[in-house]
Structure 1
Amino acid sequence: MQANINRNKLFVASCLSLLVTSLSFGIRAGILNRLGVDFHLNASQLASIAATAFWGFPLAIVIGGMVVDAIGMKKLLVAAFVFHLAGILLTIFAGGFWTLFLSTLLIGIANGTVEAACNPLVATLYPENKTTKLNHFHLWFPGGIVIGTLIVFFFDKMGISWQVQVAMMLIPTIIYGYLFSRLDFPVTERVASGVSTADMYKAVASPLFIFMFICMFGTAITELFTGQWVGVLLNNVTDNPILILTITTGVMVVGRGLAEPVVHKFSPAGVLLMSAIMAAIGIYLLSSVSGGMIYVAALVFGLGVCYFWPTMIGFVAENIPKSGALGLNLVGGAGMFAVSIYTLFMGGFYDRLLAKQLPEGAVLDTFRSAAAGTPEATQYAQAQLTAGPEVLRATAVIPIILVVAFTVLVIYMRNKKKVTIAGA
């Protein structure tokens, strides 16, 4: 590590940039229903807006992964600051569907650019402890969602507008932009170790990398789709659906903060298997229970998805190091792209489930915008009680598939370790 590199300040600035990313998720999840009412948007349109963040993210992270070795991590992070600033301001002054769509796209691009630079930055700063430090870095994702959902909850109680809630993201944005503009950066680990571009592309074409790439589809959907849509899906199952997200992400903050002993005891592959089992149980419980038990379900789900994202990235960094920044960012991009497609599909599926519960020929928007206490509003609320849990039950299939996949991974890594020891 170069003498002029202050890795602690770079790590703090990285955490702040990820905080802005997560605030955008937490606050948007909290105000999604409000945006639907204020701008007369149906669930499919809300899904399109939410999904835009998820496909803006992979666009940026994949492109960033391809150029970060050449242009350096600092230029990417300055670009992330510009995109975040523009997206936040456009959201505050949004006038309808298309301005919300564009602003969410800009924020998604900013979020992807942050990950494109910060994942390889953290791996480069802490080569001796990659998975643990990536968990510590990524605890700011659920941490920011906790902060964001609490902002929504308390600001709503005080009657403060959603525009002011979104404006709160400007504070950490300006701070991280200032810090990154002032600090010196190291070169990426692949560049420092002299791994060739040809070797990097060979690494991302290896069977193990392709396997992890595909598994990232499932881990990302399980964590991010459920978290982003829980307020909509369980709106009438509990009086405080946003608190479900707060509990879930609060567990994730604590879990990622305590990642070191967990990862060292069970290995990254073992952690992924345990996570898939807990996530499957958690989503099933969220779709099946009510009352106080729903908060227990949120706790189980939070434990399940806690280690997914950073451990997937950490596994690739540790076990396929020649894939470099491109490998880390392809995995992250795969996850967000999968969430964007799944969100679009499930938004339409949710609307169809609602329509099935309403009188034949009913116009869904009429029931959605009906005044409280009217027969239409009562019927719509009853339809939500059925449709939301049904979407969650369909989603629970994904972590069940992951249980099988990660069982195979654990066996493979154990056999590989035995071969390595025997060869030594």
Structure 2
Amino acid sequence: MEQVNKNRLFLASCLALITTAMTFAIRARLETVFGPEGVGLTLEQLGYAFAPAFFGFTIAMLIGGPLVDLLGIKQISWMAFFTHAIGIVLTLMADSMTTLFVATLCIGIGNGFVEAALNPMVASMYPEQKTKMLNRFHVWFPGGIVIGSLIGWLTMDVMGLSWESMVATLFIPLVLYGVLFFGQKIPVTERVQLGISNKNMFKSVLQPLFLFMVFCMFLTAASELGTTQRIESLLKESVAAPLLVLAFINGIMALGRMFAGQVVHKLKPSGMLLYSAIFTFIGLWLLTITSGGMTFVAAAIFAVGVTFFWPTMLGFVAEYLPETGALGLSIMGGAGMFSVSIVLPIMGHLMDNASASEALRTMSLLPAILIVAFLGLNMYMKKQAKTSKA
């Protein structure tokens, strides 16, 4: 019987996530192409045009989550590949808010299918190291943003090439992950391995701890991705090349996630989340009052904060709520991206009518709420650990 090639599948998964992440960085650079100084869209209109990247992701996660168990990880992975391909082609053809909206929707759906299929695949391949390996997998979200940011800066700002040339580079990781997945045996999800029924899976996502984590996912994702997605507009008055700040932030995130295993061992997931919220709050607040070189200091603190948010939220659910299965991970990812689709137009409205500092100040309220929430979670998990030992 053909064996599962974990190394090849993990590499393919990382390249799929790089494709996803590069779309975030490249879309951030497209903000000036389609914005007031380019095609002529307002920042609020751009918020609506880019929002499908996030609610399209949510739709794909909520559809793909239950279908992962029904159709299999392989089929959902190929759905990601083809929707990615369509989205990239449509982006190259975009010339208005409507066409940009449709293209972004397709890419968002492709991104959602990547997470819907590959988060449970990584969890099922490494059942004893879920949080560690999910963090290692998610190294390539910030890693891909670094790659995309540098490509955007080099192609358009240094080499003076067209924005279409920048977007076309997305085909490179797309083709690579398609080739690596082709013909491979892919494992079933952990929920299927454990024999947990569909009824119990759907019932488990209604338990209070899971619903609490979904609420927190709204705030963690919005804090991270709402800020980084609009970095070009938020920091254009503070630094000469905001895209390099984006690369800097995500470089720190990639390094942090690479060594997440050691941090998990010391702090446990709930402790990691509490410290993350504290650093995120401080970083966002500092970004409202800094400029020039000090912007990078504030960005570094913010980066340390958001590094572990996304993968540790998923790791917590996979580790402590495994009965929620692929559906639970999909709901978490979908909730996170949906929250970003809500905050992008709000941020755009604030920047159009007030200032970037006001938008950042408003965003800093989210990690402030999370500090309180994760303090409570930390106390609850410590109490549960003592009860289980007694």
TM bracket, shorter-chain basis: over 0.9
Residue 8 of structure 2 is matched in structure 1 by 9
Q: Tell me the alpha carbon deviations over residues 53-80 of structure 1, each in whole angstroms, 9 at most, x when there is no partner.
A: 0110000001100111000010001111
Pick which of 173-182 and 119-128 moved more: 173-182
Note the C-alpha offset of 1:415.
0.3
1:102 aligns with 2:102: yes
Output the CA distance in 1 between the equivalents of 2:266 and 2:13.
27
Q: Tell me the alpha carbon deviations over residues 27-48 of structure 1, each in whole angstroms, 9 at most, x when there is no partner.
A: 1112211222332111111111
Note the C-alpha offset of 1:284.
0.4
**Are the aligned partners of 2:350 and 2:356 in contact in 1 as well (CA < 8 Å)?**
no
1:215 aligns with 2:216: yes
Residue 367 of structure 1 is matched in structure 2 by none
Output the CA distance in 1 between the equivalents of 2:347 and 2:26.
21
TM-score (norm 2): 0.98
Output the CA distance in 2 between the equivalents of 1:38 and 1:345.
21
Pick which of 193-202 and 391-400 moved more: 193-202
Which of the residues 360, 370, 379 maps onto 1:402? 370
Residue 361 of structure 1 is matched in structure 2 by none
Unaligned runs of 5+ in 2: none
Residue 132 of structure 1 is matched in structure 2 by 132
Output the CA distance in 2 between the equivalents of 1:234 and 1:172.
29
Residue 280 of structure 1 is matched in structure 2 by 281
Residue 60 of structure 2 is matched in structure 1 by 60
Aligned residues: 388
Pick which of 95-104 and 219-228 moved more: 95-104
**Structure 2 residue identity aligned to 1:79:** M
- For residue 185 of structure 1, give the secondary structure of its aligned residue in structure 2: coil
**Are the aligned partners of 2:350 and 2:358 in contact in 1 as well (CA < 8 Å)?**
no
- For residue 183 of structure 1, give the secondary structure of its aligned residue in structure 2: coil
Among all aligned residue pairs of Structure 1 and Structure 2, give the percentage whose two residues are the same amino acid.
49
- For residue 28 of structure 1, give the secondary structure of its aligned residue in structure 2: helix
Which of the residues 382, 388, 411 maps onto 2:356? 388
Q: How does 1:9-408 map to 2 (within 5 A)?
A: 9-36=8-35, 37-155=37-155, 156-353=157-354, 387-408=355-376
Note the C-alpha offset of 1:330.
0.3
**Are the aligned partners of 1:39 and 1:97 in contact in 2 as well (CA < 8 Å)?**
no
Note the C-alpha offset of 1:5.
0.7
**Are the aligned partners of 1:270 and 1:410 in contact in 2 as well (CA < 8 Å)?**
yes
**Structure 2 residue identity aligned to 1:77:** S
Residue 414 of structure 1 is matched in structure 2 by 382
Output the CA distance in 2 between the equivalents of 1:266 and 1:42.
44
Output the CA distance in 1 between the equivalents of 2:115 and 2:134.
11
Q: Radius of gyration: which is bigger?
A: 1
Note the C-alpha offset of 1:350.
2.1
Note the C-alpha offset of 1:116.
0.3
- For residue 257 of structure 2, give the secondary structure of its aligned residue in structure 1: helix
Output the CA distance in 1 between the equivalents of 2:202 and 2:106.
29
Note the C-alpha offset of 1:241.
1.4
Note the C-alpha offset of 1:179.
1.9
Give every structure 1 segment of 4 or more consecutive aligned residues whose post-TM-superposition deviation is greater than 6 Å. none
Output the CA distance in 2 between the equivalents of 1:7 and 1:64.
22
TM-score (norm 1): 0.90
**Are the aligned partners of 1:234 and 1:389 in contact in 2 as well (CA < 8 Å)?**
no
Q: Tell me the alpha carbon deviations over residues 249-305 of structure 1, each in whole angstroms, 9 at most, x when there is no partner.
A: 110000000100001110000000000000000000111111211100010000000
Output the CA distance in 2 between the equivalents of 1:302 and 1:281.
11
Note the C-alpha offset of 1:347.
1.6
- For residue 182 of structure 2, give the secondary structure of its aligned residue in structure 1: helix
- For residue 240 of structure 2, give the secondary structure of its aligned residue in structure 1: coil
**Are the aligned partners of 1:74 and 1:181 in contact in 2 as well (CA < 8 Å)?**
no
Q: Tell me the alpha carbon deviations over residues 344-400 of structure 1, each in whole angstroms, 9 at most, x when there is no partner.
A: 2222232221xxxxxxxxxxxxxxxxxxxxxxxxxxxxxxxxx01110011101000
Note the C-alpha offset of 1:198.
1.7
Output the CA distance in 2 between the equivalents of 1:258 and 1:160.
36
Output the CA distance in 1 between the equivalents of 2:63 and 2:20.
18
- For residue 84 of structure 1, give the secondary structure of its aligned residue in structure 2: helix
Output the CA distance in 1 between the equivalents of 2:187 and 2:252.
33
User: CA RMSD of the aligned region, Å?
Assistant: 1.0
Residue 383 of structure 1 is matched in structure 2 by none
Output the CA distance in 1 between the equivalents of 2:287 and 2:245.
9
**Are the aligned partners of 2:2 and 2:185 in contact in 1 as well (CA < 8 Å)?**
no
Output the CA distance in 1 between the equivalents of 2:353 and 2:312.
36
Q: Tell me the alpha carbon deviations over residues 155-210 of structure 1, each in whole angstroms, 9 at most, x when there is no partner.
A: 12110111100100001101111222221111111011101112112211111100
Q: Tell me the alpha carbon deviations over residues 195-246 of structure 1, each in whole angstroms, 9 at most, x when there is no partner.
A: 1112112211111100000000000000000011111111112111112111
Output the CA distance in 2 between the equivalents of 1:261 and 1:250.
19
